């Protein structure tokens, strides 16, 4: 899709979302988001944070399926962090790849961090899914989200990884936060004011952040897909 067509589609989406909000028509809003096919493949930039220790703490408490093996959150012996490190070491060594297993592990573990994926997706999508009377917000990570899906494999002498993380966003009507009920902080979270009735998220939906990496060449494809 050309840049001009993409800009046109974004503008139309924002106009339609604004109409849905003014009509208080949530079903129409959902239909509008579903029909915007370009929301299925939103190109994303390079990962914004490579803070390994922070990523490890979050990933260790999260659910994941790595090379079809499900890990156990918080487990010392069967936990996600330990298993990812072992898989990276095994594949690099078995195939005698000219890569540092620790560097490979750090690249993958940072991309498995749901907060990093959510922050990067939010910075991109908040400029697309919005209207004059609607704003996008992040929601807290939910245990109801599917496990992070990870594939790590060798192909033609090169190491590849595919990482899919599901995060949850919401839409709020600006009138709900305009009259003192709450605000959106710098990280994109809705913050309710103590003395006011809590501001409510009008609609929540999932976004899958997908990254396909070639760890041997440094090439990557990263995009977000909106699911309502």
The answer, yes or no, to whether residue 75 has pLDDT greater than 90, is no
Domain coordinates of the chain in residue numbers?
40-227
| Residue 152, SS3 per DSSP | strand
Q: What is the pLDDT of residue 222?
A: 98
pLDDT at 198 over 80: no
Q: In this predicted structure, what is the pLDDT of residue 181? A: 76
Distance CA 103, CA 179 (A): 49
For residue 199, is pLDDT > 80? Answer: no
Residue 16 or residue 199, greater confidence: 16
Return all residues near 70 (Cβ < 8 A) that are at least 6 apart. 63, 64, 147
Give the contacts of 18 (CB within 8 A, at least 6 positions apart). 131, 132, 133, 134
pLDDT band at 142 (very low <50, low <70, confident <90, very high): low
Over the stretch 11-63, which tens digit does the pLDDT of each residue have?
Answer: 999 999 999 999 999 999 999 999 999 999 999 999 999 999 999 999 999 99
pLDDT digits (tens, 9 = 90+) for 169-187: 999 999 888 776 788 999 9
Residue where the block lists tokens 């699911």? 227
Phi-psi sector, 125: left (phi>0), alpha (psi -120 to 50), beta: alpha
Half-sphere CA count of 162, side-chain side, radius 13 A: 9
Query: What does the mean pLDDT of the chain come to?
Result: 93
The total of other beta-carbon atoms located within 10 Å of residue 27's CB is 8
Q: Return the percentage of the chain with pLDDT > 70, whole number.
A: 95
Average pLDDT score over residue span 154-176: 95
Strand pairing of 148-155 and 158-173?
antiparallel
Cβ partners under 8 Å of residue 218, min gap 6: none
Check pLDDT > 70 for residue 1.
Answer: no
Half-sphere exposure of 206 (CA within 13 A, CB side): 14
């Amino acid at each position: 899709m050309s840049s001009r067509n993409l800009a046109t589609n974004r503008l139309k989406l924002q106009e339609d979302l604004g109409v849905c909000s003014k009509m208080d028509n949530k079903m129409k809003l959902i239909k509008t988001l579903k029909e915007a096919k370009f929301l299925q493949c939103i190109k994303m930039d390079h990962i914004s944070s490579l803070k390994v220790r922070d990523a490890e703490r979050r990933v260790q408490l999260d659910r994941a399926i790595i090379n079809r093996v499900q890990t156990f959150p918080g487990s010392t012996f069967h936990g996600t962090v330990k298993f990812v490190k072992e898989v990276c070491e095994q594949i690099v060594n078995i195939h005698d790849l000219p890569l540092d297993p620790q560097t490979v592990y750090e690249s993958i573990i940072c991309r498995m961090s749901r907060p990093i994926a959510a922050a990067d997706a939010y910075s991109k999508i908040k400029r697309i899914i919005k209207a004059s009377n609607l704003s996008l917000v992040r929601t807290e990570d939910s245990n109801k989200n599917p496990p992070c899906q990870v594939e790590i494999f060798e192909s033609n002498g090169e190491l590849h990884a595919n990482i899919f993380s599901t995060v949850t966003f919401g839409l709020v009507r600006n009138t709900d936060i305009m009259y003192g009920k709450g605000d959106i902080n710098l990280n994109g979270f809705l913050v309710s004011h103590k003395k006011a009735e809590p501001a409510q998220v009008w609609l929540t939906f999932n976004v899958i952040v997908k990254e396909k990496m070639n760890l041997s060449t440094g090439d990557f494809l990263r995009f977000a897909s909106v699911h309502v």
